[in-house]
A and B are shown apart, each in its own frame.
Chain A
């Protein structure tokens, strides 16, 4: 069964600290992995997208890594800010014959405290 699992479910950190969110997936075939940020009351917004040949990709203070062999990804947030408080969702896309279908993880709820 195609699944995406994230950990931890929730995380509280102090402003300025770093944190790392984890994602394991069992989706096959695999095309790419995305990290989305979802602010409260808003739709998800894409942070990064990586294909199987990419190991790391950065977007400002966000750095995503991908190990296609172990089917694991992580999202590292550097020097956290209060505005980073949101849900972070790991999303996997299957092969081309699946059209635009995405498989979503349950998300990690991050709270950054002053």
Chain B
């Protein structure tokens, strides 16, 4: 398996534009997580899915952020409209069962810069 795949790897956009980040989890994994990493706050969980259903979105910063998982092999994180403070590295991770001992496998991340 190629691991968790994210695209694009880098995104530069202007304030106010819509940004869509994409993730393909590891095949057979039932849980998918979206994280944001900044120097100030480290890694933060934004939202996670179980079997394509959003379970906890309490980490989503505001209504400008939305995430979907239309099928088991694809998820998107959308920011509309984007703001400079959204600049960060966004990671997608997946795990087999989501149990407390289950390992999460992270993708390479998308570095987002909002000008």
Q: What residues of chain A have their CB less than 8 Å away from a CB belonging to chain B?
A: 31-32, 41-46, 49, 51, 89, 93-96, 98-102, 104-107
Contacts and interface: CB of A to CB of B under 8 A. Distances in A.
Nearest to A93: B100
Contacts, number: 59
Interface string B23-42: 00000000101000000001
With a 10 A CB-CB cut-off, give which of B43, B44, B104 has the most chain A CB atoms: B43
Interface of B: 4, 31, 33, 42-45, 48, 50, 55-56, 91, 93, 95, 98-104, 106-109
A31 to B, nearest CB: 4
A75 to B, nearest CB: 16
Given A44-B43, A107-B42, A100 B108 contact: no
Contact of A101 (B42, B48, B103, B107): B48
A49 B99 CA distance: 13
A72 B10 CA distance: 37
